[in-house]
Structure 1
Amino acid sequence: MTTTAFDLSAKLLTSDSRWSACTDDGTAIAYLDDDVGFDKIECAHGNAFLFAGNSQVIDAWKNFLRSGPLSAEGRPQIAGIALLVAEMASGAVIYAYGQDIALPNAQNPTMPVAIFAGSGSIWAAHCWNVNRCGRKAIDSAKAGDKFTGGATKFLELDSGNHNLANSISVEQMKTEFLKKGMVMYINSAQQPQPLTTAAANDPKVKELCDRIAQGQATVSAPCDAMWMNPSQQDEDRLDAVLNQIFAAK
């Protein structure tokens, strides 16, 4: 479903590009791997924001960050997503919520060497421990986790080099999802097939497509944080970080 990583030693943010939705009975996963321009990494105000989770909430965050906010007032919720914020100049993590794995740093116990979120995080963390490469970590997650896929997206904080697009809205992404998506059947030897084909032959997939089109089902990059409730401390820390970011513009 997704994997995101922050390699602190290389100051490198990476993620897969897969978005997905599941039938109600959990037997089929619809997914989109095409690099359509709705990425899980967003740059704003000298900081990089790394997302996983509910695409509607992520879209709200993208719009908020692009609106030129002066403070945290009016920011979107963090319930439903995992969020990591890294300062581009220093590479420091200034906020993290809903991350699954933080590998410890022997030289600096207060700051991990790499941070991972999403269903493929365990494969990514194992790979990073061996190869020390954020890009390879995402590729390993794709090999080990059938819910991670698509292009490996990246942002190098030092150089600013990236392969991000961020050119469409969540509504446009959903249109592309229904047009170009694929379906995999869990616990089945059946090969993935186009979403349009599956919807024509499987009432459960057709129902899922209808619900997505009507806004009753959400396309996501699922992670554990989607089922968490942020504490007041989580909310207050985020407000303080955002106020600091926007005050420094």
Structure 2
Amino acid sequence: MTTNVIDLKNGVSATDSRWSYQSSEFIIFIDNVGFEKIVSANGFAFTFAGNGKLIQDWKTWINMGRDGYPPVDPLIFGQPSIAVSIVNMKTNAVVMDWGISIRFPEAMFAGTGASQASVCWKQNCDAMKAVNSAMAVDKFSGGMVKHLVFGCGSNNLSETATIADVGRLLGTRGTVMYTNKPKMIPISEAVANDLNVSSAVGKLSTGEHVPTAPCDAMYSSWSDEDKEKMQAALREIFPEKFNQ
């Protein structure tokens, strides 16, 4: 459940704020929980979609400062995977990206809402409007539109939760949507009447199930060349983490 727009023309990254768990029968989702899909560090903007646990690992590593351990394959290239873009906030230049669904010369899109967002951006060149457009038609995207302006750093991000918190909150504040029914049901009602939902909530609370921001890249594997390119990009951005 996600829409990511990286607007290189105007220097803005924008995303929805929905996280979800999906089975073959239902989707549990929650919006506006404070686990953001955008992170900035050392003058670079990281925009994520995909597996929430892997995104948490990236955030933890990014924020560990000089003592952060060098990233290794299980940390940043795990399965299910992620989509990630890294942009220099001074120049709007893309340092590295992987898992992008749609690419224009001046914009990139990822997530289940990428197609609609790309159509809107092509017409309006407005990242936040593009995310809103996707949320209007994509049930996998929702919540507040979060953004980061590269040049000045202006944003409405509020990193207050971990992915473990999101898993627990899905079981207390989430909403259930069954794949064969358009109606949305409060999680408490679904848990009381559906053992499968109840089981999923229990596994989300313990971390056995992981919330996601779905994208095509979740089901792809990094090539050795892509891994080397990402490692090189991270060495450039975080030399203090590698030169110890």
Match of 1:78 in 2: 77
TM-score w.r.t. the length of structure 1 is: 0.91
CA distance in 1 between counterparts of 2:59 and 2:2 reads 18
Report if aligned partners of 2:18, 2:213 keep a CA contact under 8 Å in 1. yes
Number of residue-to-residue matches in the alignment: 237
User: Which residue, 108, 120, 126 being the options, matches 2:119?
Assistant: 126
Q: Would you say the 8 A contact 2:148–2:155 is kept in 1?
A: yes
What residue is the counterpart of 2:101 in the other structure? Answer: 100
Structure 1 counterpart of 2:29: 31
In structure 1, how many angstroms separate the alpha carbons of the residues matched to 2:150 and 2:61?
Answer: 21
2:4 and 2:131 in contact (8 A); partners too: yes
Q: Any idea what SS the aligned residue of 1:61 has?
A: helix
Given the alignment of the two structures, is residue 50 of structure 1 paired with residue 13 of structure 2, yes or no? no
Is contact 2:116-2:133 (8 Å) kept?
A: yes
| Amino acid paired to 1:9 | K
Amino acid aligned to 1:129: K
Percent identity of the aligned residues? 36
Q: Which runs of 5+ in 2 are unaligned?
A: none
Range moving further from structure 2, 150-159 or 206-215 = 206-215
| Equivalent residue, structure 1, for 2:150 | 157
Contact 1:99 1:117 in 2 (8 A): yes
Matched, 1:212 2:204: yes
1:238 maps to which of 205, 214, 230: 230
- Establish whether residue 177 from structure 1 lines up as the match of residue 177 from structure 2: no
Q: What SS does the corresponding residue of 1:168 show, helix, strand or coil?
A: coil
CA contact (8 A) 2:19 2:213 kept: yes
**Coordinate RMSD, CA, aligned:** 1.6
Measured in 1, the distance between the counterparts of 2:41 and 2:100 equals 20
Residue identity in the other structure for 1:39: E
Q: Point out where structure 1 has 5 or more consecutive residues left out of the alignment.
A: 104-111
Residues 5, 117 of structure 1: 8 Å contact kept: yes
What's the secondary structure of 1:149's corresponding residue? coil
1-side partners of 2:240 and 2:93: how far apart?
Answer: 16
Output the amino acid matched with 2:156.
N
For 1:10, what is the secondary structure of its paired residue? Answer: coil
Q: Distance in 2 between matches of 1:31 and 1:154?
A: 21
Structure 2 match to 1:18: 18
Deviation at 1:183, TM superposition (A): 0.6
Deviation beyond 3 Å, 4+ runs, structure 1:
69-72
**Aligned residue in 2 for 1:109:** none
